[in-house]
Amino acid sequence: MERLRVVLSVMALWMSLLGNSQSEYPLGFQAEVGYLVGGQVTSNTFAYQSGLSARAIMVKPVRPTFSLGLGVGLDTYDYINFVPVFLKIEARRNSDKTGAIVAYVGYSFADEESGGVINQEFQGGGFLEVGRSWIYSITEDSNFLFGLTVKHQFATSEIKNLVGQELEEKTDFEGIHFRIGLSF
């Protein structure tokens, strides 16, 4: 978890520097909650697991049609939690359109308290989400967000069996991520 603290500190510093710069495109904030539909993929099996997510993102528009953001979140599944730290990339064909292509690229730390079966520990990994996002104006300074992405989360699990052997297995998570949120 020490690596997570360092990453979050660097993100906070970077965002404060961006926020202090004078620009025609001010720094914005997005809060998202979502539902993950999919499952856990091991070397030869698929186990259905749905989950919930929450994310906080600082967004910096680079142009009216392109923005970048840094964020952190929490993805909870039946018996494992991930803490994703990511870059959000959002691009529109033109500035007056509500729909955008969106990608989330980052690394998810596995919660140290996670474990599905006795003596099973998860380790996080990189992740990628690609999909669509729509923005609808509520007021002059706030918007409603809706998003739909396909997500791939790399992970591994270490299982200690009854005779004391430790087995490491690729345990990825695949799914569709439905998301709603607000931006300010």
State the residue range of the domain holding 15: 2-183
Number of domains in the chain: 1
Q: What SS3 class is residue 51?
A: strand
Q: Determine the average pLDDT of the residues in 163-178.
A: 80
Structure confidence at residue 94 (pLDDT) = 74
Compute φ and ψ for 8, nearest 5 degrees: -65, -35
Q: Where are the alpha helices (DSSP H) in the chain?
A: 2-20
What is the C-alpha to C-alpha distance for residues 138 and 180, in angstroms, rounded to an integer?
14
User: Using 50, 70 and 90 to split pLDDT, how confident is the model at 170?
Assistant: confident
Q: Tell me the CA end-to-end span of the chain in Å, nearest whole number.
A: 30
Structure confidence at residue 16 (pLDDT) = 59
- CATH code of the domain containing 160: 2.40.160
What confidence tens digit (pLDDT) does each residue in 58-110 have? Answer: 998 888 889 999 999 999 887 788 899 999 999 988 776 678 899 999 999 98
Q: What SS3 class is residue 1?
A: coil
What is the C-alpha to C-alpha distance for residues 38 and 119, in angstroms, rounded to an integer?
24
Instruction: Give the residue among 111, 38, 36 at the shortest CA–CA distance from 80.
Output: 111
- Residue 177 token pair: 């991520």
